[in-house]
Amino acid sequence: MIDAVIPVWKPIDWTSFDVVKKIRGQIKPAKVGHAGTLDPFAEGVLMLCAGKYTKKVESFMDKEKEYSAEIQLGIETDTLDPTGKIVETSNIPHLTEDKIKGVLNKFTGKIEQLPPMYSALKVNGQPLYKSARKGINIDRKMRTINIYEIVLINFTHDTISLKVTCGRGTYIRSLAKDIAAQLNTVGHLSRLIRTRIGEYDENSCVELKDFPKWLSART
């Protein structure tokens, strides 16, 4: 039995539950939960809580999160990420650093955001993604989120790379769509890395292949 907080570096193409299942299988009978889903196409810090620390999941979900993100402009997908089907394309206006920074400033602070249909958020007890897969669009309420900082890292004629520091409940996919709209085009989130949760960053994380060694050092 192990009681621990386990920051794991989630690889691309794994669901958050895949990671939980993998770790749970190695530390039975301890309970394991995660503090905040990370989409399969994304990689980065995933906080797992085992044993008595599963009671602290909520407190970890409240921690500040930091992401490295890339927005692909001119193409929108139904999932708002690279795994979805293209639903709209648009011309991309000429981009300048000042124009992009002017738009990003509109998304700093407390803002209203519409959660994406392809998300685990439950409406009337049903995860939205289940309705989305059936082609059903559910009315969703705007939610107040907190974006502490958005830093422009780089841009090309059709991509924007950002560092986003935000609070709980932020969907970076929705942010990508909304930023693209403010630039008078469409877009989707083409790459996402969660680089930090609170004080936990990549240097704090254990990779899945190294977990048996991590575990043996603590048991």
How far apart are the C-alpha atoms of 196 and 79, rounded to whole Å?
A: 24
How far apart are the C-alpha atoms of 144 and 141, rounded to whole Å?
A: 10
> Which residues, 6 or more positions from 23, have their beta carbon under 8 angstroms from its beta carbon?
6, 8, 32, 48, 50, 208, 211
Catalytic residue among 3, 13, 18, 39: 39
Active site annotation includes 39:
yes
* Length of the chain in terms of residues written: 219
**Would you tell me how many other CB atoms lie within 10 Å of the CB of residue 208?**
17
How far apart are the C-alpha atoms of 132 and 80, rounded to whole Å?
A: 12
Going by C-alpha positions, the residue among 190, 152, 172 that lies closest to residue 70 is: 190
What's the distance, CA 31 to chain centroid? Answer: 24
Enzyme catalytic residues: 39
